[in-house]
């Protein structure tokens, strides 16, 4: 059976991971593998820490989509891949990779996951998780300080200089490509349940078409 690709995009801290986790809790490990677009940030190990901090991580050029497209095609062809792993604290890739085996459903999740037409063309279902800018900033502030070793000043400066302008330039416009839009300001259960039902239908049709 050929796997199906689901692409989930949306602004930084919009709740994409929450939606993915809900899907995972229903489908389980046997039927689902999740790939973070963030892991395909370009290797910056040749730069010092100060240079890495200046990178615009919200611009499409910061991502190695050529490698990602190659890997997605392999997974959709039932081939395993060795996926890079991105270290958010060091702001570059780790030396080790992660072996990913194909599953019936492959989810690609990331802020710019719908920006590249090559990725959209591979997707069976495209999703955009929508959320108010102020709420996304608050969530991002809490996450980056607790989990990624950032200071308050660093988070605010990055948000104002790149995150917010790039969101409106590159991320938000991709909502027009979405088959399903999930509002995630407060409640997302109804839309997420619709997405899960759509996924189950796709899996069933895929199995029956063998």
Q: What pLDDT digit, counting tens, does each position of 80-91 carry?
A: 999 999 998 888
Q: Phi-psi category of 42—alpha, beta or left, where left has phi over 0 and alpha has psi -120 to 50?
A: beta
Q: How far is CA 67 from CA 61, 64, 71, in A?
A: 13, 6, 6
The ranges of the chain with pLDDT < 70 are 185-188, 210
| Rg value, the chain, Cα | 17
Note whether residue 9 is domain-resident.
yes
Note whether residue 148 is domain-resident.
yes
The answer to whether the beta carbons of residues 127 and 6 sit under 8 Å apart is: yes
CATH number at 149 reads 3.40.50.300
pLDDT at 100: 97
**What global pTM score does this model have?**
0.88
What residue numbers bound the domain in which 39 lies?
A: 4-198
- Total domains present in the chain: 1
């Amino acid at each position: 059976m050929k796997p199906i690709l689901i692409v989930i995009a949306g602004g930084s801290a919009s709740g994409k991971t929450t939606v993915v986790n809900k899907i995972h809790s229903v489908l389980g490990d046997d039927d689902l593998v999740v790939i973070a677009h963030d892991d395909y940030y370009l290797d910056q190990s040749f730069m010092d820490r100060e240079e890495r901090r200046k990178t615009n991580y919200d611009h499409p050029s910061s991502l190695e989509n050529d490698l990602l497209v190659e890997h997605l095609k392999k997974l959709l062809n039932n081939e395993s891949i060795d996926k890079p792993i991105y270290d958010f604290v060091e702001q570059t890739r780790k030396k080790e990779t992660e072996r990913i085996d194909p599953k019936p459903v492959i989810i690609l999740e990331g802020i710019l996951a719908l920006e590249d037409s090559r990725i959209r063309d591979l997707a069976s279902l495209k999703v955009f998780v929508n959320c108010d800018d102020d709420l996304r900033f608050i969530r991002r502030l809490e996450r980056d300080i607790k989990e990624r070793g950032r200071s308050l000043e660093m988070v605010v400066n990055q948000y104002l200089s790149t995150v917010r302008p790039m969101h409106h330039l590159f991320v938000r416009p991709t909502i027009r490509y979405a088959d399903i839009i999930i509002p995630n300001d407060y409640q997302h259960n109804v839309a997420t349940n619709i997405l899960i039902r759509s996924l189950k239908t796709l899996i069933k049709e895929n199995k029956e078409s063998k």
